[in-house]
Chains A and B, each alone.
Chain A
Amino acid sequence: MKARLKFTKMGPMKFIGHLDLQRLFQRCIRRSHLPIEYSKGFNPHQYLYFALPLPLGATSEGEYLDMTLTDELEPEEIKNSLNAYLPEGINIQEVYILSDEMAVGMAAVDAAEYKIFIDKKTVPLHFMDAVNNFFNQSEILAEKQGKKGIKEVNIKEMIHEYTLDENDEQWIITLLLATGSKTNLKPETVIQQIYRDNNLEYKDCRVHIHRINIYSRKNDLFLPLSDIS
């Protein structure tokens, strides 16, 4: 059977890179004795599909991992047995059973939602006006890292939604960005461009990125991966 796990990556876990996270999961799965399917032949290994790697330094409450099990298990059982071995900060929130014909992992991803936290003290007073102006352009040009180096592209179509918010200390930009195997807009690209346009020095260590969820597009609707099973 196929299962989709939704999990968090919070606190200091943001310092763990994607490959290290994979190894961590593999070992926790082994310890939990989940009946996971292994590849055949020499060097048997587990097939795990992570939906979308998270950049180092970002936190998330909506990460996904697909796996194939050799026995039928209750979602609750999968969740509890894994959580018993995962470190603080990484927590399985929910487990969904996928139908057998479901494509696993990356193939289903079309968009991701982020919250960007910017310390008010690090930007000028009128920063938010600038941000508004940025998003309201008819064409949004950004420097994007392509296969053949940096090039300028219009990212307007790739920004599905944006909202601005604030609390006492931070500006909060919420973004729904196109992402996946075909088009992929990273939140850093957007934020860096805003800083560049305003002649501000961008230091990624000062801007906190938090992923809310990952979506798949169905009939013009963005559904969280958890709703697709």
Chain B
Amino acid sequence: MTTLRVKDELLLQVEKPARYIGNEVNSVKKDLSKIDIRFAFCFPDVYEVGMSHLGMQILYYYLNERKDTYCERVFAPWLDMEQKMREHNIPLFALESQEDIKNFDFLGFTLQYEMCYTNVINLIDLAGIPIWSKDRGEEDPIICAGGPCAYNPEPLAHFIDFFYIGEGEASLGKVLDIYKVHKQEGGSRRAFLEKLLDVEGIYVPCFYDVYYNEDGTINRFVPNHPKAKTKIKKQIVKDLDSTYYPTHAIMPWIQTVHDRVVLEVFRGCIRGCRFCHAGFVYRPVREKSKDVLMKQASLLLENTGYEEISLASLSTSDYSQLEKFSEELLEVCRESKVNISLPSLRIDEFSLDLMGKVQEIRKSSLTFAPEAGTQRLRNVINKGITEEDIISGSRRAFEGGWDRVKLYFMIGLPTETEQDIEGISDLANKIVDTFYAIPKENRAKTVKVVVSSSCFVPKPFTPFQWEPQNTYQEFMDKQYFLKSKIKRKQIQYNYHDAIVSALEGMIARGDRKVGDVLYAAWKAGCKFDGWSELFEFSKWKKAFKETGIDPAFYASRRRAYDEILPWDHISVGVTKDFLKREHERAMKEEVTPNCRQFCENCGAKRFRGGICYES
């Protein structure tokens, strides 16, 4: 039996001790004497959040496929556990071997959201490793990071030794191959990072210098090493059918956010909603074939014993073989008594029918994401959903017995006016009216329409990357305004405190100087900033004051098209020209057709795969 790193007595004093014991069903155990590379896969949030993350499960098994590598998991200990660890001088350890990760070869962080950045810093510190990469010595692990937020690596550039830009399964293996030889030959840390300059998709921040203009914008971004590339190209897998996909999933000890088998159906999105980071950075769309999906589904269910399977993609309805695939999957699941969960469906006849067949969500709530209250603003953001779609979808659903509708909106979208905000409550009203227009005997007794609004955060690599974000005050004023417009008791309005979104907006488009704020905020005690109960803005304020950095410069400033953006040295395939074109169209309220209707030559074709080559 594995000896636990933390004594039982301490574990019994913390909440959910099962977070820290490892050894779950399907976790990987390896003979350490046969391992060349020890990799700590770090998820900068708690166990339950990290274990729900598909990317982590994929990369965990992908890396462990290699005989020479042992990939183990690390999550952020919850506050009570961190306190115990600091009190008793227990450095951060990996779940599988329960050994301290400061002795590993690599720490790999996955960056899923900006609000976990102070946790990244905290984890490096908890591991007992110098926080700034320049301070690390030959004995310290190499610290790398990837994931969607790594497409703007600059805010964390001071802390991370190298970034991996793109999908890990594509070529992370190359890095390990190089490292293995390097380790055998006994080269220095710097020599290894220099070798990485030959690898596509790797960004080593220390080989680049940034010069600023007096107004704070970037003047020049220049390599300081002859081999450092001027553009770092995103790495992706071209063909999802032949790409590695795990047939197992680690069975978490405790209930997680998504406690089920997750089957990835396709990557990317054909739609091109102009606010959506994922929609641009994951281009082009690459689908798995139906047969491969069926095979993966059965293997995963067989090897986990889960009673539920969920289909993952940005927009399930856009899967080209959905009809045939759902039929077959339903068949298999009925037989083995497995529930199917179908997120991100567009609500049309087919989907409603499908949802009816999938017993589990029968007659629960229906979800629409119109994102904006008027057609004009929906055109600006290129959200191809009309009021008619929503009303008729709701009507059909109500007639089928549903009695709850959830609507998701964004506040603070570019060009938004008071009218657009009022449009949100108008739409909710119309749905309620639609319900009552149905004869009593053909519908449920009462209806509930839940309106949720989030705050728009402009993201890099989207057509809105040049747009100013609303200030905290503007967000709050708009939310109160909307609140005052919603009067009927059938409508419930949910909104969040905008302060976290404001901060997220600043970090998302941050440069290297934002790293100083992150550090100062961490010093002031910030961690788990994504957890509203732990978020303390006063600490961030202190950090701004200390570093002299003005968050408004990053969040609420309009950038000129010719300004050098902090992420300009990263290439995600989609070109700046295309983004500019899309931005101009947005201002003209013009919609752009989706990839299946018409190829707009966004630039993603250079990957030579996926939808751009569908005929």
Which residues of chain A have a CB within 8 Å of any CB of chain B? 11-12, 14-17, 19-20, 23-24, 26-31, 38, 42-45, 56-57, 85, 87-89, 204-206, 208
Subset of 19 A-B contacts with CB under 8 Å: A11-B1, A12-B23, A15-B11, A15-B17, A20-B18, A20-B253, A20-B255, A23-B259, A26-B307, A28-B25, A29-B305, A31-B302, A31-B305, A38-B337, A42-B360, A42-B362, A87-B25, A204-B12, A205-B10
| CB of A88, distance to nearest CB on chain B (Å) | 6
Asked if residues B21 and A12 are in contact (CB atoms below 8 Å), the reply is yes
Residue B303 at the chain A interface, CB threshold 8 Å: yes
| Known A31-B302, A57-B12; 8 more pairs at CB < 8 Å | A11-B1, A19-B255, A27-B304, A27-B307, A28-B25, A30-B307, A56-B12, A205-B13
Chain B residue at minimal CB-CB distance from A205: B12
Asked if residues A87 and B18 are in contact (CB atoms below 8 Å), the reply is no
Chain A residue at minimal CB-CB distance from B255: A20
| CB of B4, distance to nearest CB on chain A (Å) | 6
Asked if residues B4 and A12 are in contact (CB atoms below 8 Å), the reply is yes
Question: How far is it, in angstroms, between the C-alpha of A89 and the C-alpha of B360 when the chains are bound?
Answer: 34
| CB of B128, distance to nearest CB on chain A (Å) | 24
- Given A31-B302, A85-B305, CB of A16 within 8 Å of CB of B18: yes
List CB contacts (< 8 Å) of B6-46 with chain A. Answer: 8-13, 17-18, 21, 23-25
Tell me the count of chain B residues lying within 8 A, CB to CB, of chain A: 31
Residue B524 at the chain A interface, CB threshold 8 Å: no
Question: How far is it, in angstroms, between the C-alpha of A14 and the C-alpha of B259 when the chains are bound?
Answer: 21
Asked if residues B254 and A85 are in contact (CB atoms below 8 Å), the reply is no
| CB of B81, distance to nearest CB on chain A (Å) | 12
Asked if residues B25 and A15 are in contact (CB atoms below 8 Å), the reply is no
Question: How far is it, in angstroms, between the C-alpha of A205 and the C-alpha of B362 when the chains are bound?
Answer: 45
Residues of A near B10 (CB, < 8 A) are 205
Asked if residues A88 and B337 are in contact (CB atoms below 8 Å), the reply is no
Residues of B near A45 (CB, < 8 A) are 307
Residues of B near A205 (CB, < 8 A) are 8-10, 12-13
Chain A residue at minimal CB-CB distance from B339: A43
Residues of B near A29 (CB, < 8 A) are 305
Residues of B near A44 (CB, < 8 A) are 337
Chain B residue at minimal CB-CB distance from A39: B337
Question: How far is it, in angstroms, between the C-alpha of A26 and the C-alpha of B304 when the chains are bound?
Answer: 11
Chain B residue at minimal CB-CB distance from A45: B307
Question: How far is it, in angstroms, between the C-alpha of A24 and the C-alpha of B24 when the chains are bound?
Answer: 10
Chain A residue at minimal CB-CB distance from B362: A42
Question: How far is it, in angstroms, between the C-alpha of A56 and the C-alpha of B18 when the chains are bound?
Answer: 10
Instruction: Choose one: B23, B251, B304, B359; the contact of A43 (CB below 8 Å).
Output: B359
| CB of B543, distance to nearest CB on chain A (Å) | 37
Which residues of chain B have a CB within 8 Å of any CB of chain A? 1-2, 4, 8-13, 17-18, 21, 23-25, 251, 253-255, 259, 302-307, 337, 339, 359-360, 362
Residues of B near A42 (CB, < 8 A) are 359-360, 362
| CB of A27, distance to nearest CB on chain B (Å) | 3
Asked if residues B21 and A15 are in contact (CB atoms below 8 Å), the reply is yes
Asked if residues B303 and A31 are in contact (CB atoms below 8 Å), the reply is yes
Asked if residues A206 and B9 are in contact (CB atoms below 8 Å), the reply is yes
| CB of A90, distance to nearest CB on chain B (Å) | 10
| CB of B360, distance to nearest CB on chain A (Å) | 6
Instruction: Choose one: B2, B9, B305, B362; the contact of A26 (CB below 8 Å).
Output: B305
| CB of B27, distance to nearest CB on chain A (Å) | 9
Question: How far is it, in angstroms, between the C-alpha of A215 and the C-alpha of B352 when the chains are bound?
Answer: 52
Instruction: Choose one: B9, B13, B23, B307; the contact of A87 (CB below 8 Å).
Output: B23
Chain B residue at minimal CB-CB distance from A206: B9
Asked if residues A27 and B4 are in contact (CB atoms below 8 Å), the reply is no
Residues of B near A23 (CB, < 8 A) are 255, 259
| CB of A85, distance to nearest CB on chain B (Å) | 7
- Given A20-B255, A27-B304, CB of A89 within 8 Å of CB of B11: no
Instruction: Choose one: B255, B306, B359, B360; the contact of A27 (CB below 8 Å).
Output: B306
Residues of B near A206 (CB, < 8 A) are 9
Instruction: Choose one: A14, A27, A43, A204; the contact of B305 (CB below 8 Å).
Output: A27
Asked if residues A12 and B302 are in contact (CB atoms below 8 Å), the reply is no
Chain B residue at minimal CB-CB distance from A44: B337
Residues of B near A208 (CB, < 8 A) are 8
- Given A38-B337, A43-B339, CB of A16 within 8 Å of CB of B304: no
Question: How far is it, in angstroms, between the C-alpha of A56 and the C-alpha of B21 when the chains are bound?
Answer: 14
Question: How far is it, in angstroms, between the C-alpha of A43 and the C-alpha of B363 when the chains are bound?
Answer: 14
3 shortest interchain CB distances as A-B pairs? A27-B305, A30-B305, A205-B12
Residues of B near A19 (CB, < 8 A) are 255
Question: How far is it, in angstroms, between the C-alpha of A30 and the C-alpha of B362 when the chains are bound?
Answer: 24
Question: How far is it, in angstroms, between the C-alpha of A20 and the C-alpha of B18 when the chains are bound?
Answer: 10
Chain A residue at minimal CB-CB distance from B18: A15
- Given A15-B18, A29-B305, A204-B12, CB of A24 within 8 Å of CB of B251: yes
Question: How far is it, in angstroms, between the C-alpha of A43 and the C-alpha of B1 when the chains are bound?
Answer: 36
Asked if residues A16 and B9 are in contact (CB atoms below 8 Å), the reply is no
Residues of A near B21 (CB, < 8 A) are 12, 15
Residues of B near A16 (CB, < 8 A) are 18, 253-254
Question: How far is it, in angstroms, between the C-alpha of A29 and the C-alpha of B336 when the chains are bound?
Answer: 13
Residues of A near B8 (CB, < 8 A) are 14, 57, 205, 208
| CB of A158, distance to nearest CB on chain B (Å) | 25
- Given A15-B18, A17-B18, A85-B305, CB of A24 within 8 Å of CB of B25: yes
Instruction: Choose one: B2, B259, B303, B337; the contact of A12 (CB below 8 Å).
Output: B2
Residues of A near B12 (CB, < 8 A) are 56-57, 204-205
Residues of B near A12 (CB, < 8 A) are 1-2, 4, 21, 23
Residues of B near A89 (CB, < 8 A) are 1
Question: How far is it, in angstroms, between the C-alpha of A205 and the C-alpha of B14 when the chains are bound?
Answer: 10
Question: How far is it, in angstroms, between the C-alpha of A38 and the C-alpha of B23 when the chains are bound?
Answer: 29
